[in-house]
Amino acid sequence: MGVNPGKFKGHEKFERKHRFGFPLLHDEDWKIAYGFKILTMSGLMQARTVYILDKDMRVQYVNKGMPTTEELQQELARINR
């Protein structure tokens, strides 16, 4: 799933436009972001961060940026071994 801050209405449009193929959660109060200690840019917006959790909900991978699909697939394969 993906998590984005901001108002729900704006994210409906964003979700329809991009059709990610997974649920998009709305973190209007930034509770999820602060829980994962995601960096913010001057407190105005969150830095893009990708987390992969295992079946026990433990964080196995963190990338503060935009990893490639290939990199994510490799990490998923590693985690699922």
Give 25-67 as a DSSP string: EE-TT-HHHHHTT--EETTTEEPP-EEEE-TTS-EEEEESS--
What is the pTM for the complete model shown?
A: 0.59
Reported confidence tier of residue 57, pLDDT bands at 50, 70, 90: confident
Reported confidence tier of residue 16, pLDDT bands at 50, 70, 90: confident
pLDDT of 46 above 70: no
Identify the bridge partners of residue 53 per DSSP, sorted by sequence position. 59
Average pLDDT over residues 43-60: 77
